Amino acid sequence: MASYKHFSFFIYAFAFATVESTAFSSLSTNYYDYSCPNALSTIRSVVEAAVQREQRMGASLLRLHFHDCFVNGCDGSILLDPSPTIDSEKNAFANVQSLRGFEVVDEIKQAVDQACGKPVVSCADILAVAARDSVVALGGPTWKVKLGRRDSTTASRVAANANIPAPFFSLSELITNFKKHGLDEKDLVVLSGGHTIGYARCINFKAHIYNDSNIDPNFAQYLKYICPINGGDQNLAPLDSTAATFDVSYYSNLVNKIGLLHSDQELFNGGGSTDALVERYSYNSKAFYQDFAKSMIKMGNIKPLTGSKGQIRFNCRKVN
């Protein structure tokens, strides 16, 4: 009897350990190799088609992944629409009337579920892969995306307002914000390089061009035609001089004091702790590409839901 009890305890302990291991399993680059071997190629084809239709969509998909990971980890919460139980992050200050690409995510989700035969790939993983494929489609580096995230069943507009870095942040505020998410100063400079593609609204750079001194006066004057002191808040300007190409122009612009956002120019502001790295990336695209890939993997691993946590949403816009 004692032997039987000992054996039963061993089986129970093993089963419990297995559940625990599954619930807290780490991400893996080959997560869908068996459950849906066509998942990644399907995501890539939809992203490439979307970027061909509109180059700006590449930046939009990258930004969606950024803003998702910076709220409560990379859990797809950014995609949830408002509902009686969801205070949507889409209505946060940094996102409302700004974030785009949700329809492309819907298109990817439909295509992937069809390729897999059922909902297997999470919306959070779709965002992570789509961000990578968008960068590649615009001439940037590639990297192996770690997969296995599950989707959140909640969202928080309040948390989005508190955690997504603002375009008016100082360097010290940016460093503090990134550190809160487990990212260091190098990650800050590298990931900010995502602004080498895409556009920003006038409301996000108006104070920089009218009030700041660390901006080239000719550049500021040019932007004032796009962004008048009164009105024009939704008018767009490119984040760097080659907004449809993933390159190092973003850093060259900062060195020349033609960064569009106040928070961008704070990375190179005369004697700051990040100046040297900005200058290095401005002429060394290989270093930037390598470091960007590493920091994207690091960011994508912020507090993912795995194992039995969360769910695989049937529709990325709502909880099952």
Give the model confidence (pLDDT) of 230-245 as tens digits. 999 999 999 998 989 9
Flag whether the pTM goes above 0.75: yes
Q: Above 50 in pLDDT, residue 109?
A: yes
> Token pair of 127, please?
């965002």
What is the pLDDT at residue 10?
Answer: 45
Q: Above 60 in pLDDT, residue 278?
A: yes
> In whole angstroms, what is the distance from residue 65 CA to residue 124 CA?
8
33 marked among binding-site residues? no
What is the pLDDT at residue 39?
Answer: 97
CA dihedral over 213, 195, 124, 172, signed as positive or negative: negative
The residue among 60, 80, 74, 66 whose CA lies nearest residue 156 is 80
* Segment 142-179, tens digit of pLDDT: 999 999 999 999 999 999 999 999 999 999 999 999 99
73 marked among binding-site residues? yes
What is the pLDDT at residue 181?
Answer: 96
> Token pair of 80, please?
């949830």
264 marked among binding-site residues? no
Give the mean pLDDT of 86-106: 94
> Among this protein's residues, is 262 annotated catalytic?
no
Mean pLDDT of the chain: 92
Q: Which of 6, 65, 67, 181 is catalytic?
A: 67
CB 67 within 8 A of CB 99: yes
**Domains with residue ranges and CATH for the chain:** 39-164 (1.10.520.10), 171-296 (1.10.420.10)
The residue among 177, 175, 236 whose CA lies nearest residue 204 is 236
216 marked among binding-site residues? no
> Token pair of 119, please?
């909902």
What is the pLDDT at residue 26?
Answer: 82
Q: Could you write out the three-class secondary structure of 106-157?
A: HHHHHHHHHHHCCCCCCHHHHHHHHHHHHHHHCCCCCCCCCECCEECCCCEH
> In whole angstroms, what is the distance from residue 78 CA to residue 89 CA?
5
State the pLDDT confidence band at 4, using cuts at 50, 70 and 90. very low
What is the pLDDT at residue 232?
Answer: 95
* Segment 40-78, tens digit of pLDDT: 999 999 999 999 999 889 999 999 999 999 999 999 999
252 marked among binding-site residues? no
Q: Which residues on adjacent β-strands are paired with residue 151?
A: 311
Give the DSSP H/E element, type plus range, for residue 199: strand 199-201
